[in-house]
Every structure is written in structure tokens, then in C-alpha cells.
Amino acid sequence: MRIITRVAILLLIVGIQGCATYGKISGIPSEGQKSVFKDGRKTLISIKQNTVALAPNTETVTSGQKADFVIAVHNGTSQDILFSTDDVTATANTNGQLTTLKVFSYDELVAEEKNRRAWAAVAVGLQGAAESMNAANAGYSNAFGTYSGSTYSNYGTKTFSSGSYSSTTYNYAAAQAARNVAQANTEARFARLEADGRENLKNLSSTTLKKETIFPAAWHGGLIKVELPEVAEQLQDIKFVVNVVGEQHEFNLNNS
């Protein structure tokens, strides 16, 4: 029982704990680009035949964790173009050491969320099993005591005796009530987990950049998630390259 409880607690802690180190990320416009503020975000805009805009979703990022970036593409050609996260690459440069950063696709994020829910369900199940075992033991009660006294034999001999005793009783009603509470708590946790999972998938579907055909003169955009490097004492240069049907748009940002 103790092992099950400890495993459940460990899984829950792993699921919620995060890194406490934070950094700030900011875009630096290159030649031919301009920096504007859009919805409070500092946004870099690269204008060629096609136009690409890129901005961190928030200025503050967590060291070594995923960060959201807003990206939008305008089709300036006379043909339909296909665009997705496959057309976005990112690298980090720390003191000349170049690191490729993972850019997650929509399908990868959905699979990651489903995997998170599966592990969270394991934790909820283990916690429920531990509580159910504790509930089964709730019906037991123990009594302890001591006794002492004197007895006389038929011949008038006096004998003194003492000792201790214990007894165990089981209250089925109390145990069943505890089991009902444990079951209700487990069902409530599973319901919250399911609701949170649906909401997370809904948010992914409505905000994440997906593969899309962009018609001439049309815009398409959304959020992309990028695995950032650990924040270092030295200033880190982060570069995004956005490929729009062979046309390269490079964006430079600092992570400090």
C-alpha cells in the first residue's frame, strides 16, 4: 500500500513540477525587416514576394521548455501554396555552439497531450487503489487493556494474576462508507482529467498552426511550439528560418 501511494505521488509531482529558471526573448530586425507591436507583442515582419510575421507569444520563457511563437504567412504569389511547421526550422547559438531546436507539429502536440493524459490516468488509478485499500481497513477497530486480580483455591490458597488482552472488531458499514468516498473521489479526478484533456485538445485545434493551403493574397497563421535551450549566462542567438515555397525568411532573436 505504501509503495502504491508513493508511486502515485511521484507521478503526480513529475506531472506538475516545472523549471524555475526564466529568460526573456526578443526579436532583432534584420536588413529589409521591420519591428512592430501587434496585440502587445513585438513582431518581426519580413517582406519579400511573400510576407512572414513572427513574434514570441510571451516575452518571458521558461528555460529548457517549450515556448509559443506566433507566425503568419501571406501568399504574395498568383498560385496556391502549401505551408506547415515542416517549413519552419530553428537553431540556437551559444558561444559559437549551434543547436537545432525542435519545432513541434500539430500532430506531435496532440499525441503528446494524449500521452500525458494516459500517464495522468495511471497516477489517478494508483491513488484510487491506495485510497480504496485504506478504506477497507477503516472498518477495523482494536481494543487493548490489562487485568489483574486474586483467586482462591479450594484449600484457601491465594493466587495473584495479571496480564493484557486485545481484540479486533470489524464495522462493515464504516468500511463501506469509506469505500464510497474513495470511489467518488477517484471518479471526480478522472472526470477532471477528461475535461482538462478535452479543453487542451480544443485549444490545440483552435490555436496551433496546421498544414494549410494558402490561396493567393490570403493569410494563414497560428502558434508553433519550439523547444528552447537552457538559459545560459551568455546571450543566446536564436534563428528561425521560414521557407515559403523556396523563399527564405530569416528571423533573429535573443534569449537572455
Q: What is the pLDDT of residues 92-118, one digit of tens each?
A: 988 788 889 999 999 999 888 888 888
3-class DSSP state of 253 = strand
pLDDT on residue 201: 81
**Which helix (DSSP H) or strand (DSSP E) does residue 194 occupy?**
helix 172-207
pLDDT averaged over every residue in the chain: 81
- Going by pLDDT thresholds of 50, 70 and 90, the confidence category of residue 134 is confident
Q: Is the pLDDT of residue 23 over 50?
A: yes
Q: What is the dihedral of CA 94, 97, 103, 104, to 10 degrees?
A: -100
Average pLDDT, stretch 68-94? 94
Q: What is the dihedral of CA 118, 123, 126, 131, to 10 degrees?
A: -130
pLDDT on residue 4: 44
Name the residue with higher pLDDT: 180 or 163. Answer: 180
Q: Is the pLDDT of residue 12 over 50?
A: no
Query: Which span out of 73-77, 121-125, 172-176 was modeled with the highest average pLDDT?
Result: 73-77
Q: What is the DSSP string of 32-56?
A: TEEEEEETTEEEEEEESSSEEEEEE
The top-level CATH class assigned to 21-110+208-255 is mainly beta
pTM: 0.71
- Going by pLDDT thresholds of 50, 70 and 90, the confidence category of residue 17 is very low
Q: Is the pLDDT of residue 83 over 80?
A: yes
Share above pLDDT 70 across residues of the chain, in percent, rounded to a whole number: 79
pLDDT on residue 87: 97
pLDDT on residue 159: 63
**Which helix (DSSP H) or strand (DSSP E) does residue 166 occupy?**
strand 158-170
**For the ranges 15-19, 128-132, 208-212, 245-249, which has the lowest average pLDDT?**
15-19
